[in-house]
Every structure is written in C-alpha cells, then in structure tokens.
Amino acid sequence: MTTTRRLLTLTTIAFAGLLLSACSDTTTETERDESGEVTERNDDASVFEIKVGDCYDLPDDSGSAETTEVQTITAVPCGDPHEAEAYHEVELEDGDFPGDDAIQTETANACGPAFDTFVGLAYEDSTLDIYQLFPTEDTWEQLDDRLISCLIYDPSNPEVTGTLAGAAR
C-alpha cells in the first residue's frame, strides 16, 4: 500500500490590518507551570508563543497545500491527546527581508535535518510529517519576526499522547 505524503512548506505566519499585533485581542496567554510546560488547553494561543517541546492541535486548514496564514494555534498539554509537537526552531538573522523563496529554503533547511535527528529516522522513510511556521514580509518588518518553528505530526493519528521524540517511524 502506498500513501501520499505532503510536506507543508508553505504554512506561514501572517497578519493583516489591525491584526498586526503580537498581543492581539484574539489571543490569550498560555498557562504554563514553573518548568515552562503547558498546563491547560488554550484554543487561542499566539503563534509567537510556540516553544520547542510544546504540543498543539493544528489549524483546521493545515492539510491544505496552499499557503495558510495563521495567527493562533491551540496549545495542549503534551500528556493530553494532541496533533503536533514543536521539535525545532531557528531564529533568522536581522536585516532586510530576504524574500519568500529564501525564507522557504531556510525553513526546509532547518526543519528537515532536525526532523531526522528528533525522530531517529530520515523524513523520507518516516510515516510522520512536518508543519512549518515562518515569517512573512509583513511580520518580519512590523513585528520583528525572525523565528521558524518546526512541528511534527502523525497524519494517521491526530490523537498522539506524549512526545514523538525517538519514534523511529
């Protein structure tokens, strides 16, 4: 049996008009314990709160191959069923916005090799997939957004509990 795999390389973080604010009225701060782990589900967590090790439910349109602009994501305690886990992040250097193609190349270069290390198996051989968040020109210029966030998920099981670190599948 063959399965079709998709790499969501075109998922972006972007805002428009009055939504250009990291502290928008549509987001709420995620509750964390003293070690920084998410303790309560937050359906309106800002994408700027994503931290490596956090677990999330993906936006409803995450299966689309089209560019998706997101402002919020659902943070979930990793011990509860969740769809994805932040496994790697890269902060890009300051300067002028390098362009969409350069950002997407940087994102692929950051998330791919880190996936192999995190899972313990090459992406091409894995049944797991990647959801990527990266800056747009607007967030780069208006919010000083330089962060690429790499999330891992299992397309066949949207109810993962715990981490996928070392899953080797």
This prediction's pTM:
0.82
pLDDT in tens, the chain (169 residues): 322 233 433 333 332 222 333 334 568 999 999 999 999 999 999 999 999 999 999 987 655 556 678 889 999 999 999 999 999 999 999 999 999 999 999 999 999 999 999 999 999 999 999 999 999 999 999 999 999 999 999 999 989 999 999 999 9
Closest CA to 73 of 39, 46, 38, 40: 46
As a whole number of angstroms, the distance between CA 140 and CA 15 comes to 11
Give the start-to-end residue ranges of the domains of the chain. 41-153
